[in-house]
Chain A
Amino acid sequence: MRIHLTSVFVDDQAEALRFYTEVLGFVKKHDVPVGEKDRWLTVVSPEQPDGTELLLEPVGHPAAKAYRDALVTDGIPLAQFEVDDVAAEYARLSDRGVRFTQEPLEMGPVTTAVLDDTCGNLIQLVTPSR
Chain B
Amino acid sequence: MAEDLFKALADPTRRVILDELADKSGQTLFEICSRLAMRHQIAISRQGVSQHLAVLEAAGLVETRREGRYKFHDLNTAPLRQIAERWPLPGPSGPEESTP
Contact = CB atoms under 8 A, between A and B. Distances in A.
A90 B4 CA distance: 39
B38 A74 contact: no
Interface string B2-33: 00000000000000000000001001111100
A116 B68 CA distance: 11
Interface residues of B, number: 14
Contacts of A72: 69-70
Contacts of B46: 74
Interface in A74-108: 74-77, 101-103, 105, 107-108
A114 interface: yes
Contacts of B38: 107-108, 110
Given A107-B34, A114-B30, A73 B39 contact: no
Interface residues of A, number: 17
B44 to A, nearest CB: 15
30 contacts: A69-B69, A72-B69, A73-B69, A73-B71, A74-B28, A74-B29, A74-B30, A74-B46, A75-B27, A75-B28, A75-B30, A75-B70, A75-B71, A76-B28, A76-B29, A76-B30, A101-B28, A101-B30, A101-B31, A102-B27, A102-B28, A102-B30, A103-B24, A105-B24, A105-B31, A107-B38, A112-B34, A114-B28, A114-B31, A116-B69
Given A75-B30, A101-B28, 19 more contacts: A69-B69, A72-B69, A73-B69, A74-B29, A75-B31, A75-B70, A101-B30, A101-B70, A103-B24, A105-B24, A105-B31, A105-B34, A105-B35, A107-B39, A108-B38, A108-B39, A110-B38, A112-B34, A114-B28
